[in-house]
Amino acid sequence: MSRRRGESRRDVPPFRYVRTATDRELLEQLDDLVSAAAAGDLRAIGAVAIAFGPSLLREIRRELGALHVQDEAEIMQAFCVAMAEGKLMFPAIAGGALPWMKRMVRTFAQQQMRRRASGQPLAA
């Protein structure tokens, strides 16, 4: 944050993030979209994959590490298939859509790593 000449740090008010009504509405809409996707709505799953695919793939990559990047697409696909089949339960937590999706793909990645370590067939 830039200060004007003669202005001390104490004169500058601290930055606080304030969510506006519009922010809340967007979070509610995202929750609704992810809820529909988790219930098997294919259009909602497609929207989630398009809008959040890159950030979810980054989350998977962080969980897997550099040695298993070849599994990223499989894990993302397994997540989308699980939503399409209605196997995932989206909790009714306001604003929880993105954290939930990230937690789910990390869980899928961890399961993939356990299967790999135990010699079980990898998820398709």
Indicate whether 100 belongs to any domain: yes
Q: Which DSSP state fits 12?
A: S
Q: What is the pLDDT of residue 7?
A: 52
Q: How many domains does the chain have?
A: 1
The pTM score is: 0.74
Indicate whether 14 belongs to any domain: no
CB-CB neighbours of 104 under 10 Å: 19
Q: Name the phi and psi angles at 57, rounded to 5.
A: -65, -40
Indicate whether 1 belongs to any domain: no
What is the CATH classification number for the domain harbouring 29? 1.10.1740
Please spell the DSSP secondary structure of 43-93, one letter per residue: HHHHHHHHHHHHHHHHHHHHHH-GGGGGGHHHHHHHHHHHHHTT-------
Question: Dihedral through CA 51, CA 66, CA 109, CA 56, nearest 10?
Answer: -10
Per-residue pLDDT of the chain (124 residues; tens, 9 = 90+): 455 565 555 655 565 666 566 888 888 999 999 999 999 999 999 999 999 999 999 999 998 887 777 788 899 999 999 999 999 999 988 889 999 999 999 999 999 888 877 877 655 4
Q: What is the pLDDT of residue 1?
A: 47
Indicate whether 13 belongs to any domain: no
Indicate whether 58 belongs to any domain: yes
Residue 100, domain extent: 20-118
